[in-house]
Amino acid sequence: MKNQWTNLYTGFVEVKASGKGTERLINELIRQGVSVWDIRRTAPGILVFCMDVQEISNLRKAVRKNECKVTFVKGSGGPFLIKRLIKNSGFVIGFLAFLITIFVLSNMVWGIEVHEASPDTEHAIRKELDKMGIKKGKLQFLLLDVDEIQKQLGDKIDVLTWVGVDLKGTTYHFQVVEKETPEEVKTYSPQHLVAKKKAVIKKMLVEKGKPIVNINDYVTKGQLLVSGLIGKEDKQQIVPAIGKVMGETWYKATVEVPLKTNFSVFNGDESTKHSIAVGSLSIPFWGFKNPDYPEYVTETSSKPFFFLQWKLPISYKTQTLRSKEDLVREYTKNEAVKEAKKMAKVSLEKELPEDAEIIGEKILRESIENGKVILSIHYQVIENIAIGQPIIQGD
Question: pLDDT tens digits, residue range 270-299?
Answer: 888 889 888 888 888 888 888 888 888 888
pLDDT tens figures, 147-175 = 889 998 988 888 888 888 888 888 899 99
Residue 1 is predicted with a pLDDT of: 43
Helix (H, G, I), strand (E, B) or coil at 9: helix
Domains 7-82 and 111-178 share a fold: no
Please, what is the average pLDDT of the chain?
87
**Residue 67 binned pLDDT confidence (cut-offs 50, 70, 90):** confident
Residue 233 is predicted with a pLDDT of: 74
Q: Indicate the class that CATH gives domain 7-82.
A: alpha beta
Fold observed for domain 111-178: Ubiquitin-like (UB roll) (3.10.20)
Helix (H, G, I), strand (E, B) or coil at 391: coil
Candidate from 159-168, 173-182, 193-202, 304-313 with smallest mean pLDDT: 173-182
pLDDT tens figures, 368-379 = 998 899 999 999
In terms of average pLDDT, the best of 224-228, 316-320, 376-380 is 376-380
Helix (H, G, I), strand (E, B) or coil at 234: helix
Residue 224 is predicted with a pLDDT of: 93
Residue 184 is predicted with a pLDDT of: 54
Domain boundaries, the chain: 7-82, 111-178, 254-260+330-383, 264-325
Instruction: Give the span between the Cα atoms of 323 and 374, in whole angstroms.
Output: 34
Rounded average pLDDT over 98-107: 87
In terms of average pLDDT, the best of 2-16, 77-91, 174-188 is 77-91
Rounded average pLDDT over 104-117: 88
Helix (H), strand (E), coil (C) string for 151-209: HHHHHHCCCEEEEEEEEECCEEEEEEEECCCCCCCCCCCCEEEEECCCEEEEEEEEEEC
